Amino acid sequence: MNNYFIVPGLGNSGPEHWQTFFESTGDNFQRIEQKEWDAPDCNDWIATIDKALTGYDLSTVILIGHSLGCTTIAQWAKQYKRIIKGALLVAPSDVENPVYTFPAKGFTPIPADKINFKTIVVASTDDVWVSLTRATLFADNWGSELVNIGAAGHINSASGHFEWHEGLAILKRLG
């Protein structure tokens, strides 16, 4: 059985977000709770991921990131070099873009290294926080499969992604 860990982005994912829906689908889904959701420090966030995985068979672990959570997973992979089953990286925010003015410390530069486990990047053509060009670059750098779901905004509740069954189907491709 797989163990799924939800890795939200800035501000956490609210009750209508698809990550919350995923979490409700089974006992083997759990959210990684960060201490600081609104002004995060990358070192704290990646340490929290690593601590949450303690005691789990890493070959059963799949991380599910959204937005800044995707960058966090890439930073965690680079720093800790653990090998897990895989990660779903949905709408990875481009924290290097000048429009990203949120108080997030230590998330840049975005890792350009290949991630040493299977990953899928899901992107849209009209996400204000990451262009499709940049999402494609991240996927190429990380060695990820890229899934373009068309005009879907930031793939969050604001863009109508609540019970995101298409996302669950993509998640199943990780095994």
Looking at every residue in the chain, the average pLDDT score rounds to 97
Strand-pairing partners, residue 31, are: 6
Residue 142 is predicted with a pLDDT of: 98
Between CA 38 and CA 83 the distance in angstroms is 29
Q: What's the pLDDT tens digit per position in 32-82?
A: 999 999 999 999 999 999 999 999 999 999 999 999 999 999 999 999 999
CA distances from 46 to 32, 50, 101, 156, 165 (A): 10, 6, 21, 22, 28
- Confidence category of residue 92, pLDDT binned at 50, 70, 90: very high
Q: What percent of the chain clears pLDDT 90, i.e. is strictly above it?
A: 97
- Residues 155-173 have a mean pLDDT of 95
Q: What is the largest CA-CA distance in the chain?
A: 41
Which tokens in the block code for residue 97? 């873009």
H or E element that contains 78: helix 68-80
Residue 15 is predicted with a pLDDT of: 95
- DSSP annotation of 38 reads S
Structural domains of the chain, with CATH: 3-172 (3.40.50.1820)
